[in-house]
Amino acid sequence: MKRTAVSLLFLFTFLVSTAWPQAEPQWNHKIITFEAPGAGTGADQGTIGLGNDAQGAIMGYYCGVP
């Protein structure tokens, strides 16, 4: 019984150590800040990014000073 437990512990440790590097994400996230020309800096003003299109361009809108 003890020999089986040690063998299973060794096997589990080996499997986890070989699978761990593959658990990393497949993409890199990068935060990009930007300000549209004419965007306001007051309350409820500025640039609002909503998402990205297929080419990677940022989509959104901006609110300027009236």
Dihedral angle of Cα 21, 25, 27, 30, to the nearest 10 degrees: -110
Confidence grade of residue 42 (pLDDT, cut at 50, 70, 90)? confident
Task: Provide the residue ranges of all domains of the chain, joining segments of one domain with +.
Answer: 25-66
pTM of the entire predicted model: 0.40
pLDDT higher at 26 or 36: 36
CB within 8 Å of 53: residues ≥ 6 apart: 59
